Structures are given as C-alpha cells and as structure tokens.
Structure 1
Amino acid sequence: MATLKSIAEKAGVSISTVSRVLNQDDSLSVTEETRERILAVANEMNYQRIKSHQKPQAKTAVNVGLFYWYSEDQEVADPYYLSIRLGIEKACFERGINLVKLYRNEDTYQTNFKGSLHGVIAAGKYSNQDLELFKQLSPHFVLVDYAFSDEIDCVVPDFRKAIIEVLDYLLNQGHEKIGYIGGKEYVQDDEPIRDEREATFYEYLKLREMYRKGYVWTGRFTAEDGFELMNKALSSGDLPTAFFIASDSMAIGALRALHEQKVRVPEDVSIVSFNDIEMAQYVHPPLTTVKVQTEFMGETAVDLLVEQIQSKRTLAKKIVTPCKLIIRESSGTKS
C-alpha cells in the first residue's frame, strides 16, 4: 500500500512536501515540475487519495483551521509535529472536512480562505494572547501537545507516566548516575514553557536523593544541540552512565558526539530517548525510546473538535494518550 513516505522517497522530496501537494495547499512554493512529479508517482503507486483528486463530500461542509506551529524545515529536522499534522490531515480527509491553513501575521492569525471557520486545531505551544486570537476565529478550538488550562479541549501524551517508566527501567539496569539532555520551548513573548519530561525527571530523582544539577543540559530540540550538549557532558569530567534525552532528534546528535569520542553505547553509556521517530530504529545502535502516538493524537484532536462543534457541552475535555517504552540496543545494564 502506497504511503506518503514511499511517494516522497520515489519523488525525491520531503514527506511534508508530498502531503501539502496532495492536499492542494496553494501556499506551498514548489515548481510545477515537482508538483507534477509527485502527482505522477502517487498515481503510479495507486495512492488512494489521488485517484479522484477530490475529497469525499460531507453532508454539511465543515471548515477547520489548522495552525502550523513548525515550518517545513523544522518539521524535517524534528518530525514530531509533522506526524501530528499528518494525523490531523488524514482524519479531516476521511471525514470530508475542509482543512484551512492558518498563518500568523503580526498580532493576528490569517488565512487565504474567504469563508467562516467552524473550528481551529493548533498543535504546539501558545500564549494567552494566541488563544484569544483563536477564539476570534472560532469559538471551537482544540490544542494538541499542550494543556493550557482546564477550560480548553486538548490532547496530550502521558509524559509523566512515560518518564517514570524510563527511570524505573534505568534504575533496574543498575544505573545510579543518570543525566538529562533536553530542550526549552517558549511562547511568543519568550516565556519559557514547563517541560513535563524535565520536571518529572527532577521530581523522580530528587525524591530518591539521586538528582544532580550538574547532570542536566538543555538547549533546543535539534540534532545539532544534542551533539553540542553531549560534548559538554563529555568535557565535564563526570559522565553519567545513562542519559534520558528528551527527543530522538537530540539523541541522534548525541550519538554522533559519543561515537566521535570513542564512547561505546551502551557498554559505556546507555541512551534512552523520546518520540520514536522512524529514524530511531535505523541509527547505530538503534535507539531505546518512548513511542508517542503522534498521528493518533492528531486524529483524536479532529474527533474532539467535531464532537465539540456538534454537542452543547460547556466543560472542556483533556485526552491523555498512552506512550510505550521501546527497548532497543542503545541501552543496557551498567558495566
């Protein structure tokens, strides 16, 4: 069965570009040659969405705005939000919902769409000002990967339970010196956002009198920062025997730093990361990581928004999706 990934590989473009071409995103800037090549490959591979070149018609047209928090380049570097977006697009297509791209313009959110929006889905982190702007677009909206308040529908992964499972696992493997490499995210006014992964890491180890401030390194959620932060850890002179790294992209960069310094994984240092992006199983060694059901989160956000639009409920819902620890070769018992 043809997938966006297989089409992207054969057409020689990114998954994000394929998705936006097949969804007829007019704001995408690609050459006509590239667009035609993608459509030709999709037809050749019998991709179901392209067969009719039309979305199924819903009984009543529903227009949903989707705010793209990450740029295309950011999605390629860290496909976490790409996977959420693909889940949203898939669910909207199956329901016959017209998905409208939103973009930020100074202090407002705009779209080229001329009609009215029945709802808004926003994946990412937002300020109170952002949420007020969303309310102006539609009274119905859902946040994905961010629980702002008890008054707004949201879909989030169970970060806390997942990190506890990771740390239980590392302790059972004999590791007592556990480091953390993670990223910082900010809302519009450079206000830092609490990261549940880092907070749970701190609380879990502090309770057991095992937390060491010098074992925590933070930057951005990129492979480049994973590489730089692991090099800082290596130069500290007191290297933990295991690391929890808050994203697979950062972990891939950290692995490169360890390989360059001839530090063996997992013999010298165990690595456990987060997200389980597709690349995680193909690096050397394959990453032990927490699988987040990102595409399911996107699909659930659409279900939640439709239910919100069609019902008269006044209380908000918070959907917490489960995560799963996937044991691979980057972690093991303490030597």
Structure 2
Amino acid sequence: MATIKDIAKKAGVSSATVSRVLNYDRTLSVSETTRKRIFEAAETLNYSKYRKKIQKKKSLGKIAIVLWYTEQEELNDLYYLSIRLGVENKLQSMGYEFVHILPNERLHIDVNANIDGMIAIGKFSNDQIKNLSAACEQIVFVDFDTLSLGYDCVVTDFEHSIKQVIDHFLARKVQTIGLLAGIEYTNDHVLLKDPRLKIFKDYIKERLNQSPECIYTGDFSPESGYELMKKAVQELGDRLPEAFFVANDAMAIGSIRALHEENIDVPGRVSIISFNDISIAKYSFPPLSTVKVYTESMGEEGVDLLIKNMKKKSRSTQKGDPWDKACNTRKQLLIFSLNYPLLHCFGTQQVNLFPRERHRKYSP
C-alpha cells in the first residue's frame, strides 16, 4: 500500500497537505489543481496493474470516453475518477487511443475522427442515451443499468453488498441501523434515485420486521455527509442509531467529522460502514470501514466488453467462448450483455461470496 509520504512525493507537496486533502479538510486553502494532483497520485499509486511504462505502439483504434462528472465532481467523489483511470489504463495497454467527451459538451463527433467505439461512465437520461447511440453504434455503459434499453453495461451488485453489511451489523447485536443515501441528477436534470435506498428499506423490514426511520438523503459529497449526520444528531439525540450504512466514502468521511465534533465515539457509540473503498479510505481518520467496489475493474470490464463487441460485431458468440470462462474470476460486478450470456459474479472469489475479511475493513 502506498503511504502518505509516497503520495506527497509524487504530487510534489508536503505529507501534511496530503493528509488534510485526503480527509477533505475544509479549513485547508489549496488550489483545485493541487487537489487534483494529490487525488490522482493516490489513485495511481494504489492501482499498480498498469504501473509499468506502456510501450508506444501503432493505435488499434480510437475510443470516446463520455463523462458525466465534471473535474470538480470527480475530486469530491473519487468513485468515477477511479473508473475513468481503469478505462484509460486498459485502453492504453491494449493499444487504443481515447478522447474525452465532457459533461454538457455538445456531442459533435466528426466522421473523420474515426471513433470506433464509446464508453459512457456514469448516469444518463434516455434522451442523452439516444444522442450517444446515434453518434456511435458500439457503446457500453459503466455504472448504469441500460440493458432494458438495449445497451450493454457493467454495474456493481448493490443488493448483495447491502445485505451483507446489514447482516454484519445484526450479527453484532446492533438493532438500530440508519442510512445516509444519495440523490443524483443527469446533466439534463433528470432525477435519479439511489437503488440502495429501496434495498436497504426492504431488507431491514425483512430482518427486523420494522420500517426503517433513520434515513437521510443528500448528494454524494463529504459536505453532504457532514450536514446529514449533524441533522441526525440534532433531531434524534439519544435515539441516534447504533450504526449507519453510508452510500459512499466521501459522505462517510464528512459524517465521521460531524460525529467527532459532537463528541460521539466512532465506532464505540456509532459504527459506520460505507461503500466504494476508494483509495483515500485507508488514509482517513479513523480508517474507514467500507465495502470494496472494484471500480478499476468496472472500467476494465467495460473496455473488454466494448472491444469484444467491436471484434465480433458480425458474428454471434460461440459455445465455450473464453469470455464466459473468464467470468469465474470477476469481482463483485454484474456485466450485462445483449450478445453474450449473463455474466453474474459476486464477491471476491467465485467459491466464497462476500467473505467478510475481504470485502470490509471493519472491526468493532
């Protein structure tokens, strides 16, 4: 694991600055350029698969990477930064060029640009999806379930992860569990609901035979996590739940800061488990207990699926395709393809779904 000193050296700043940036210290005055350099250094150093220098070779084609997060939003929630780096590194290693299509950027892909395929990272409205598919026939979506709309996609498996977290809490005699969830909008202002909200409600009702009451929703930023937890403390007082499941690491960092300001012990009085396990989770204080989402792998799988579709555009999948065999080692991902059998893989190992010592860093 890369240390804060390693990140500081790569980013060209002090270790103290790195520590404060990775913990989203709001009192630190630092430029957005420096923040970006630190976050990208942390992601790169903790993503070793493609660390070796890639030999320049003749390009096999050009891929458009469509982004729904702005650069600022990526810094507030490294989830999509990590997916993007996974896509870019995989494409480079395979010999493909790539270009970015930024949020709210009009989709103008010149015919002469020779775009061979497209990977769309994030959430998109039906109108946006139609515009993207009109610009390029070969397209794969990462972190958005588009199978019902007729497009291949790679998403993480929320249901099994959330159930494992709740089971973990209940096994430790925790009886009151709260949720900090997120609400998002596409770039053309279409509301997107967090699927974890319904899964959480349904499973709490199933396991505890009660309707969960301590649910707060905001955006996926550390500031939102901070404000939501402050609100929970003020509204609930002594009725504050013994544990919270938090929708992402950035929100969890903000919520823990709020608990510390209220002199509430973590994890003594309130336990927190978040979602994503982005690179900064291990550098926060205290270190986050978090469900690992293989974001880099999501990007890689998106590239693999796209290239496979491009290469096999004119013929159907044959029995015994090596892609199907490779599924046995995939991690916590759902890969939906119109052209190939459902690749449905959970956990960190095919033979052991969600082993606790692997998918979390929580210790009561």
TM superposition shift of 1:62:
1.2
* Correspondence list, 1:1-335, <5 A: 9-12=9-12, 48-49=52-53, 55-58=56-59, 61-104=60-103, 108-110=106-108, 114-150=112-148, 151-237=150-236, 238-311=239-312, 312=314, 313=316, 315-316=338-339, 319-320=343-344, 322-323=346-347, 326-329=359-362, 332=364
Conservation of the 8 A alpha-carbon contact between 1:222 and 1:250: yes
Q: Distance in 2 between matches of 1:82 and 1:321?
A: 23
Pair 1:113–1:252, CA change in 2 (3 A): farther
Q: For structure 1, which runs of at least 5 residues remain unmatched after alignment?
A: 16-28, 39-46
TM superposition shift of 1:300:
0.7
Offset from partner CA, 1:255-312 (integer Å, 9 cap, x none): 0000000000111011110000122122222211100000011011001001111113
Q: For 1:299, what is the secondary structure of its paired residue?
A: helix
Aligned residues, how many?
Answer: 298
Q: Distance in 2 between matches of 1:110 and 1:168?
A: 48
Q: For 2:127, what is the secondary structure of its paired residue?
A: helix
Offset from partner CA, 1:170-200 (integer Å, 9 cap, x none): 1101111100001111224433223222121
Q: For 1:67, what is the secondary structure of its paired residue?
A: strand
TM superposition shift of 1:319:
4.9
TM superposition shift of 1:211:
4.5
Aligned residue identity for 1:78: D
Offset from partner CA, 1:141-165 (integer Å, 9 cap, x none): 0000110233210001111111111
Pair 1:138–1:327, CA change in 2 (3 A): closer
Pair 1:75–1:243, CA change in 2 (3 A): same
**Root-mean-square deviation (CA), in Å?**
3.1
- Normalising by structure 2, what TM-score? 0.74
Q: Distance in 2 between matches of 1:154 and 1:260?
A: 41
Q: Distance in 1 between matches of 2:264 and 2:63?
A: 49
Pair 1:177–1:134, CA change in 2 (3 A): same
Q: Distance in 2 between matches of 1:146 and 1:119?
A: 17
Aligned residue identity for 1:12: G
Aligned residue identity for 1:254: S
Q: For 1:221, what is the secondary structure of its paired residue?
A: coil
Identity of aligned residues (%): 40
Q: Distance in 2 between matches of 1:206 and 1:193?
A: 23
Offset from partner CA, 1:218-261 (integer Å, 9 cap, x none): 00000000000000110112211110001000000000000000
Q: For 1:263, what is the secondary structure of its paired residue?
A: coil
Aligned residue identity for 1:290: V
Q: For structure 2, which runs of at least 5 residues remain unmatched after alignment?
A: 19-31, 42-50, 317-336, 348-353
Q: For 2:192, what is the secondary structure of its paired residue?
A: coil
